[in-house]
Each structure stands twice: as C-alpha cells, then as structure tokens.
Amino acid sequence: MSAPILVFGRTGQVGAVLAAMPGVVALARAEADLADPDACAAAIRTHAPAAVINAAAWTAVDAAEEHAEAAHRINAAAPAAMARAAARLGIPFVQISTDYVFDGTGTRPWAPGDTPAPLGAYGRSKLAGERAVRGAGGCHAILRTSWVFSAHGRNFLTTMLRLGAERERLTVVADQIGGPTPAAAVAHACHAIAHRLIAAPELSGTHHLGGAPDVSWAGFARAILAAADLACEVEDIPTAAWPTPAPRPLNSRLDCSGLEAAFGIPRPDWRAGVAAALAELQGPRP
C-alpha cells in the first residue's frame, strides 16, 4: 500500500473535500492543532506520507486584528514547522495562501511574483507563512486563492442564501473585485499539485487560483440569489459604507496563467460552482 497524502484541516471547506478523496488521511483539530506547531510536525513524522497539504488556517480576518499573535502562530509558525518536517522527509508540502498578501491597489490581476504588501494582521500572518514555507528549503507549492465558497460552513454563498431568504433587500459592496473560488476546485488543485510534485519537484513555487470571471461582491451576490430563485434585491454600496476592523483589498484579481502552464489547472467557473453548491444543499432527488 502506497503512502497517503496527509491533509491538515479536515473540517474546513477545502479539507472536507480532500478528506473524501482516496489515498488521503485528513486530520482534524483534535488530532493536530495548528496552535501547537510541534504537534503538527510530529504528525507528519508519524504518518510518513507521500506529501502534505495544509488546508487549515486562521481565516477570521477581522478577529486577527485583535488576536494577531494567535493568527501568526496558526498561519505562520505551524506551516513553518510542517514545511521543515516535510523537507526533512524529502516530500512535497502544499500550502494554501490568500490574495490578502497584496494591498489591493490597481486593476491588473496580481501575478505570483508581484511584491506583497498586506493591509492587515491576517494578510501579514499568511505572508509570514509563505516565507517560512519557502525558507524550509523543501519541495513545496504555495497556492494563493480568493473568495472561497462552498455549500457548507460560514462563507459568502451560505450567508447570502440565509439573508436572501430572510430579507427583501441587501446592501453589498460593489467596488471590491475578485474571483470567487469553489472550495472543491481548490481541493482538487491541491491534490493534483501534490501528486505532480512527487514526480516533478522542480515545479516548486508560488501559484494563483481564482474563479472566473472576475466580479464584485455585489455581482456575486446577485448571481447567487438568482441561481437560488430568491427575490431579494441587491443595492450596490462602496467599501467606505461598510467599515470593518480589517481593511479589505479592492483588487483581488489573480493572474492564474502560471498554474495552468505548470500543472494544467485552469481557472474554475464560479457560476458552475454556485450551481453545484445549490444542488448539494438541495440533496439528492428521490
């Protein structure tokens, strides 16, 4: 029996998809808490996997402003320990990162080689994690993604479905632009990258995956509500009218051409992802 791919973050949006794949061993927080980086490294040594995917993270963007040290431990110290353990075993390590490492200026899609300049504590913690993974010196891939959604958990799609069923009108930010990304697409990309790196470690590097086409949050909300047949109107508002503890990047567009060139993974169509999530929520037909 071949060694498995070890996944951290079994109960998250991406981790739950990975956990259902064959040849994967997925760990929940009770088995490997990212607040304890040494325990995460020990789990890698114990399982001796063929590759490691870290799908766990501190994702509460606003809470990170108040709990920056905890966010850093989970998003930077833990991946650092994992990446070092993987490097010592000579196996690939795949780390999921975020568009929040950029400041969101301009309108051009961010390329992997662009200079990061995070606006808040969450982005700083994820950027520190990226640098630690690279610094570990092993075979690795950093996959930056944006606006991840699925049928489960707390995310924009599930929030819009809940509020759209309760209200006649919603106000949604219209000047932040990005690519909503189905969690399943992120999971399948990580799985494919991990397998490819086992055979071709020279493909190590940083890549982007964001859904297509680019859209505003307000446009994304309208598409979700229309697909769910919810008669709830969406009013466009600027970011300035919706203040949050952590500043949001206005431009979350990602240049994903490098990922397709290196691994043959194209940008997923988020509209198909919305349809799939709604079908999953409705359950199987009798």
Does residue 208 register a pLDDT over 50? yes
Residue matched to tokens 């071709």: 200
Does residue 286 register a pLDDT over 60? no
In which element (H, E) is residue 77 found? none
Does residue 1 register a pLDDT over 60? no
Does residue 122 register a pLDDT over 50? yes
What average pLDDT score do residues 236-246 get? 94
Give the pLDDT confidence of 7-28 residue by residue, as tens digits.
999 999 999 999 999 999 999 9
Residue 100: active-site member:
no
**Helix boundaries (H) for 90-152:** 121-135
Exactly one of 8, 93, 122, 220 is catalytic; name it. Answer: 122
215 HSE (CA, 13 A, CB side): 20
pLDDT given for residue 64 in this prediction: 96
Give the pLDDT confidence of 177-197 residue by residue, as tens digits.
999 999 999 999 999 999 999
Give the pLDDT confidence of 245-267 residue by residue, as tens digits.
999 999 999 999 999 999 999 99
Helices (runs of H) and strands (runs of E) counted in the chain? 11, 13
* pLDDT above 90 as % of the chain: 94
Domains of the chain: 5-282 (3.40.50.720)
Give the pLDDT confidence of 38-80 residue by residue, as tens digits.
999 999 999 999 999 999 999 999 999 999 999 999 999 999 9
Residue matched to tokens 């086409």: 213
